[in-house]
Amino acid sequence: MPAQTSPETLAALRDRVRQLRRHVVRMIAEAGSGHPGGSLSAAEIVGALYFHVMRHDPQRPDWPDRDRFVLSKGHGVPIVYAALAEAGYFPVESLNTLRKLGSPLQGHPSRKDCPGIEASTGSLGQGLSIAAGMALAGKLDGKDYRVFVLLGDGEIQEGQVWEAAMFAGHHHLDNLVAILDYNRYQLDDAVDKIISLEPLAQKWRAFGWDVEEIDGHDLAQVVAALERARAGTGKPVMIIAHTVKGKGVSFMENNNDFHGRAPTPEETERALAELS
């Protein structure tokens, strides 16, 4: 089992995550459009992956033995851009070009334009299939890398997700780790009002997955779950991370108005003050 993460490491990660959230607010405000709610809810997950769990090298984005990360909920890419910039894949100053014409930082991730992006996503429901293919390729090539994929909760109403889940279970893809950002809101309303996902853990277990439920904002839980999954359990792993949409900014939390709306200048100033 992975060793327990030290308090000092967790404190450093919390500082990283706070900085990632500040980047998200600033870049979406500068762009005048974007998706703050689902970016902020995934901050601990993305921060833990890029700054503690995943094996990757910003100087060699195409390193064959790197761990892979697929953002299936592509609209949440600002949090990933923030992590990539802080990790050294491109200058932090580039974050201000989000969604601008000609920028590599488009509103949804583009593999051919942005270093560190593993898959072009945004059409919801496809990321788990992509990640499962990467994981199977790793098995066939005799590689020991892991593939991590972050899904949205509304997204897993898509049938393709369950085809990919069945595929991964059938092929015993124990190098595949899915994380669900279960913030309970999607574009139109609360997830439970659109199509309820429950009983969720039982469904994934029925498809042959090892399932763990965590508080997605408790970094100790997030790191421990990701490290256990990376070490391998003999099955593909689904981590159901219970999160809060807009986490970290009081007036955005559980406020679906910020699913896809940029903050005003006044809201931006208030949000950054809360994240200072």
Separation in Å, CA 234 to CA 24, 46, 141, 177: 36, 24, 18, 11
**Distance in angstroms (rounded) separating the CA atoms of residues 270 and 137:** 46
**Residue 219 φ/ψ, nearest 5 degrees:** -60, -35
Query: Are the C-beta atoms of 1 and 231 separated by less than 8 Å?
Result: yes
Average pLDDT over every residue of 11-18: 98
> Tokens 């709610």 appear where?
37
C-alpha of 257 from chain center: 21
Task: Tell me the per-residue pLDDT of 69-119, one tens digit each, with 9 for 90 and over.
Answer: 999 999 999 999 999 999 999 999 999 999 999 999 999 999 999 999 999
Task: Tell me the per-residue pLDDT of 198-213, one tens digit each, with 9 for 90 and over.
Answer: 999 999 999 999 999 9
| 3-state SS assignment for residue 41 | coil
Task: Tell me the per-residue pLDDT of 229-268, one tens digit each, with 9 for 90 and over.
Answer: 999 999 999 999 999 999 999 999 999 999 999 999 999 9
pLDDT for residue 1 is more than 90: no
Task: Tell me the per-residue pLDDT of 127-185, one tens digit each, with 9 for 90 and over.
Answer: 999 999 999 999 999 999 999 999 999 999 999 999 999 999 999 999 999 999 999 99
- Band of the pLDDT at 4, cuts 50, 70, 90? confident
**Distance in angstroms (rounded) separating the CA atoms of residues 174 and 225:** 14
**Distance in angstroms (rounded) separating the CA atoms of residues 145 and 168:** 16
Mind listing the domains of the chain with CATH numbers? 7-274 (3.40.50.970)
**Distance in angstroms (rounded) separating the CA atoms of residues 44 and 28:** 19
Whether pTM > 0.95 for this model: the answer is yes
